[in-house]
């Protein structure tokens, strides 16, 4: 339905009467907006802000009441702990303790950047932030808006992705507003986030370092610094009998439509299987690289192009899932990416979005 302009503006105002949106320069954010946002964090409010990965929904990490507001705003289960963001190295020893030398080394090498380290938590971190665990996830984001906000607030900031629980993570301020308008006091709009997928999470509290979630820094890069880094993907369904370890819940990045992931070594066979699936659904959306998109030209499907390579696909994936939902498709078909570089994180997000609907075409790849 098309509304006259005046009506759109009014409905927007009603929708977001509690939310102030400030457009900021992503490279050199305006001091006034940052000061207002920093004061809001210090006052116990919620501020959504861009990072290099996705938008975060931030609150004072040392304030239990403020942290509780994050869970309420997102509809996030209290069993799923948050990441603490810091702007300076000195803040690490404030939020974590018994920090191994390896953690400092990793931080020096990869921070600011899309790497989250799980360490033993310091006593000042409230129990609700870590879902009762004695560990805490920490990272230093590589984005001028996030760093300026952290400096202005002069506090560590707890921030999950700023989406409604189980919706695709937000890569633009509009996604945040679509999910959380009225539940967040301030949104800093710094444009689209550069990477588009969340940080890589590495646990350093076990005998050997272990990847809990693949993300913005590839395993290949991390293994140059940590040759014994382990990664054993494990996914638990919603109805699994035991409580899932943080980050292993299968349903996580779900658009409203059903997602089916097609994997196989022979591209032609994979396309054929995808095309054969189209008629079984009312309205189909396709996630495709620029090269793959032509395989579906002329068919009655909604195509979201993910670009030329894994980096571009990472940048576009969550926006594409949201867009296909808006176009009202009931099923989304995607070809599984190669599991290397950022492709591994893409694979993980697509598999979670598909809630296990993986079709192996022909002989499974041997990796």
DSSP secondary structure letters along 262-282? EE-S-HHHHHHHHHHHHTTSS
Question: Would you give the end-to-end CA distance of the chain in angstroms?
Answer: 49
From the list ligand TXA, Mg ion, none, partner contacted by residue 29 (C-beta under 5 to 8 A by kind)? none
Q: Pairing mode, if any, of strands 55-60 and 157-158?
A: antiparallel
Backbone angles phi, psi at 74, to 5 degrees: -85, -20
Which one of the spans 20-28, 47-55, 272-280, 282-290 is the region binding ligand TXA (CB under 6 A)?
Answer: 47-55
- Pick from Mg ion, ligand TXA, none: which does 58 bind, CB < 5 to 8 A by kind? none
Total residues interacting with Mg ion, rule: CB under 5 A: 1
Q: Which positions from 58 to 87 touch ligand TXA by CB under 6 A, shown as an x/- string?
A: ----------------------xxxx----
**Could you tell me the smallest distance in angstroms from the CB atom of residue 207 to ligand TXA?**
16
For residue 312, with 0-12 CB atoms within 10 Å meaning exposed, 13-18 middle and 19 or more buried, which class applies?
middle
To ligand TXA, the closest distance from the beta carbon of 192 in angstroms equals 14
Q: Least distance in Å: CB of 81 to Mg ion?
A: 11
Nearer to Mg ion, 75 or 365 (CB): 75
Residue 93 CB neighbours (<10 A): 11
Residues between 83 and 142 with contacts to ligand TXA, criterion CB under 6 A: 83, 114, 116, 118, 130, 133, 135-137, 141
Following DSSP, what letter does each residue of 280-329 receive, concatenated?
Answer: TSSSEEEEE-HHHHGGGTTSSSEEEE--SSHHHHHHHHHHHHHHHHHTT-
What sign has the CA pseudo-torsion 22, 26, 32, 38?
positive
Report what 214 binds from Mg ion, ligand TXA, none; CB cut-off 5-8 Å by kind.
none
Does 164 bind Mg ion (CB under 5 A)? Our answer is no
Q: What is the smallest separation between the CB atom of 75 and ligand TXA, expressed in angstroms?
A: 13
d(CA 267, CA 272): 9
What span, in angstroms and rounded, lies between the C-alpha atoms of 137 and 300? 45
> Could you say whether residue 190 binds ligand TXA (CB under 6 A)?
no
Rule CB under 6 A: say whether 199 interacts with ligand TXA: yes
What span, in angstroms and rounded, lies between the C-alpha atoms of 178 and 313?
A: 22
Please enumerate in sequence order all residues whose Cβ is within 8 A of that of 131, keeping only pairs 6 or more positions apart, or say none.
78, 79, 80, 81, 246
The length of the chain in residues reads 367
- Residue 161 interacts with Mg ion (CB under 5 A): yes or no: yes
**Residues in a beta bridge with 116:** 201
| CB nearer to ligand TXA: pick between 49 and 262 | 49
Name the binder of 159 from Mg ion, ligand TXA, none, CB < 5-8 A by kind: ligand TXA
Least separation in angstroms between CB 324 and ligand TXA = 21
Residue 209 within binding range of ligand TXA, rule CB under 6 A = no
* DSSP conformational letter for 168: P
Continuous segment of H or E residues that includes residue 130: none
CA 23/CA 46 separation, integer angstroms: 17
Least distance to Mg ion, CB of residue 193, Å = 13
Q: Per-residue contact track with ligand TXA, 239 to 268, x per CB under 6 A?
A: -------xx---------------------
Does 160 help bind ligand TXA (rule: CB under 6 A)? yes
Contact positions vs ligand TXA (CB under 6 A): 51, 53-54, 56, 80-83, 114, 116, 118, 130, 133, 135-137, 141, 159-161, 198-199, 201, 212-213, 246-247
């Amino acid at each position: 339905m098309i509304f006259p302009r005046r009506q759109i503006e009014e409905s927007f105002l009603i929708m977001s009467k509690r939310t102030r949106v400030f457009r900021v320069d992503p490279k050199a954010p305006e001091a006034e907006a940052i000061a207002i946002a920093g004061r809001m964090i210090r006052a116990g409010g919620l501020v959504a802000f861009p990072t290099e990965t996705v938008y975060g929904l931030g609150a004072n990490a040392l304030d239990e009441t403020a942290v509780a507001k994050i869970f309420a705003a997102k509809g996030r289960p209290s069993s799923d702990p948050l990441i603490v963001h810091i702007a300076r190295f000195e803040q690490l020893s404030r939020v974590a303790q018994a920090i191994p030398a390896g953690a400092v080394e990793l931080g020096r090498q990869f921070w600011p950047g899309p790497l989250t380290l799980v360490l033993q938590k310091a006593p000042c971190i409230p129990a609700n932030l870590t879902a009762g665990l004695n560990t805490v996830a920490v990272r230093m984001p590589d984005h001028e808006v996030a760093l300026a906000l952290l400096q202005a607030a002069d506090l560590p900031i707890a921030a999950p992705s700023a989406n409604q629980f189980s919706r695709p993570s937000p890569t633009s301020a509009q996604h945040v507003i679509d999910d959380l308008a009225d539940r967040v006091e301030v949104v800093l709009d710094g444009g689209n986030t550069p990477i588009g997928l969340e940080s890589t999470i590495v646990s350093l509290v076990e005998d050997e370092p272990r990847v809990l979630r693949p993300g913005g820094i590839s395993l290949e890069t991390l293994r140059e610094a940590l040759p014994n880094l382990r990664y054993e993907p494990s996914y638990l369904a919603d109805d699994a009998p035991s409580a899932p370890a943080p980050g292993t819940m299968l349903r996580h990045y779900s658009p409203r439509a059903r997602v089916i992931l097609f994997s196989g070594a022979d591209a032609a066979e994979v396309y054929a299987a995808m095309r054969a699936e189209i008629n079984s659904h009312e309205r189909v959306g396709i996630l495709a690289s620029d090269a793959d998109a032509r395989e579906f030209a002329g068919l009655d499907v909604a195509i979201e192009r993910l670009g030329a390579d894994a980096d571009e696909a990472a940048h576009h994936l969550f926006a594409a899932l949201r867009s296909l939902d808006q176009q009202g498709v009931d099923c989304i078909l995607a070809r599984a990416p190669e599991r290397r570089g950022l492709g591994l994180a893409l694979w993980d997000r697509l598999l979670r979005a598909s809630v296990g609907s993986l079709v192996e075409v022909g002989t499974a790849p041997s990796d």
